[in-house]
Amino acid sequence: MKKISGTEEADRSPKLNIHPQKPIIILLPEGFVKMLSDIGLGDAVAALAEGSPEVSVRVNRHKPSAVDSAEIVPWCEDGRYLSERPVFALDPCWHQGRYYVQEAGSMFVGHVVRSLSREWTGPVAVLDACAAPGGKTTAVIDALPEGSLVVANEYVPSRAAVLKENIVKWGCPSVIVTRGDTASLSRLGEMFDLVVADVPCSGEGMMRKDEDAVAQWSEGLVRDCAALQWEIVCNLWEILRPGGVMVYSTCTFNLEEDERNVARIIGELGGESVEIPVGEGWGITPSIGQPDIHAYRFVPGRTRGEGLFVSVIRKTRDCEITGGSLSGDFMETSVGRKDKKGRKDKKSKGGAQSVVKVPSELSGWLDMPSAYQLYADGDRVNAFPARWMPELERVRRVTDVIHDGVHVATLKGRDYAPAHGLVMSRAFNKSAFPHVDIDRTTALRYLRGESPSLPETAPRGFVVLDYYGCPLGLVKNLGNRTNSLYPPAWKLRI
């Protein structure tokens, strides 16, 4: 890997622009305050009404860290509390996917998955059903056995686009991002070892951060949310393998959306509550009114973070989870998809459904290329872990796939240009292209869509721009100028 230093500033440590966090005062709904008191959480009122939200990030363990010196979140070794809130959009490290801005309590999902992983003997298949914007998804990714498959789904198109961007920047090559409802996903059959259901909720736990959560709260909203959550869970239960586990979570305090829904899952769908070990000093509150249910409540004033409820339920039928690839209803062939009787699948869409010849030199852009299957999808070439190709095909048949694996290249004229997703990915072969170090000023210009100037010594052709030892993006160096390959939709606008 050839590296060229663009400026002296490129050798210094990155710094975040810090903005002081101001305390807030919120007028909480009277009915909400009474509910908290009735269930023994009245002490949270002061923290919600007058406290300041904690600022926390989770570092990407697969990329160089930019926030090592901060205080560690107790239940997440990759989590960091920040004393003040930076302008994250003006930090190139954030755009590189070197850390994710995430509420500290939500990081607990990673601890849950890491605890569950002790029972798995290899890679597993996981669905994050309500995944946007991607915080819990990336936490789950980092907690899973290496090589596991993650399907991250979001119903709202605009939120699905944000989810895709965050997944690309995080860099895991074995992720599928889908856009659709859980009713469509229910057609997958019993495909997943783990389903994460961070279901839409009344948002009570986010009132310090979201004024809309305060304004919209009502007992009617709570009932409507509980009904929607039950509908979603019923759909998801159908695609959870027998013996598989559901991680059910909300950012609420009320019992109707929390313990009562969990009790209903166990009683009506057939499950058992799973206990997750927690540290004594973490300040987590156990379940309320349901002694037979293991639940983990994050309550402002007791824990450092916003409100969160988590419970883990195992689908109870005799089986053994071993992990690995699923056969599904279809088998892969070199000429397309066929059903179990060998008939051609006429419903198969374009893209990854058939093996398409792509230029062999593109495989050299990947680290360990034999682990991936390259395929054309319109003017794009993607790579996906070969062991999970049947699952990718299976997902494509029931819902809209908006991202799969690694976007390796895009056809421009007669030639293929490396894609931004390639240099963000763990699968990127860093020796495939020359690298140039850039400073913060140049990095921000690049993120705003400008084409930066490179040193005269920089080679012609495709060049990776590095910011503090980590790829930020690509340009094509024409000598007298450069063409930026940064995705236009992701341009920085401040």
Is 251 part of the annotated catalytic residue set? yes
Q: Please report where in the chains the tokens 């783990």 appear, as a residue.
A: 194
| CA neighbours closer than 13 Å in the CB half-sphere of residue 93 | 25
**How far apart (Å, rounded) are the C-alpha atoms in residues 126 and 457?**
46
Residue whose C-alpha is closest to residue 190's, from 144, 237, 241: 241
Residue whose C-alpha is closest to residue 283's, from 262, 305, 250: 305
DSSP assignment of 106-157: GGHHHHHHHHHGGG-SS--EEEETT-TTSHHHHHHHHHSPTT-EEEEEESSH
DSSP assignment of 253-302: --TTTTHHHHHHIIIIIIEEEE-----GGG--B--SS-TTS-EEEE-BTT
- Bridge partners of 245? 194, 314
**How far apart (Å, rounded) are the C-alpha atoms in residues 279 and 426?**
32
Please report which helix (H) or strand (E) contains residue 476, including its range.
Answer: strand 471-477
The token pair that represents 262 in the structure block: 């969990």
Whether 483 and 129 have beta carbons less than 8 Å apart is answered as no
Q: H helices then E strands: how many in the chain?
A: 13, 26
Residue whose C-alpha is closest to residue 76's, from 62, 61, 54: 61
Residue 223 neighbours by CB distance under 10 Å:
14
Candidates 76, 251, 319, 470; catalytic one: 251
DSSP assignment of 334-348: TTEEEETTS-B-TT-
- Note if the bond before 123 is cis, omega within 30 degrees: no
Helix, strand, coil percent values for the chain (each to nearest 5): 30, 25, 40
DSSP assignment of 298-313: E-BTTBSS--EEEEEE
Whether 127 and 175 have beta carbons less than 8 Å apart is answered as no
**How far apart (Å, rounded) are the C-alpha atoms in residues 68 and 58?**
10
Residue 305, Cβ density class (10 Å: 0-12 exposed, 13-18 middle, ≥19 buried): buried
**How far apart (Å, rounded) are the C-alpha atoms in residues 303 and 356?**
52
- What residues are labeled active site? 251
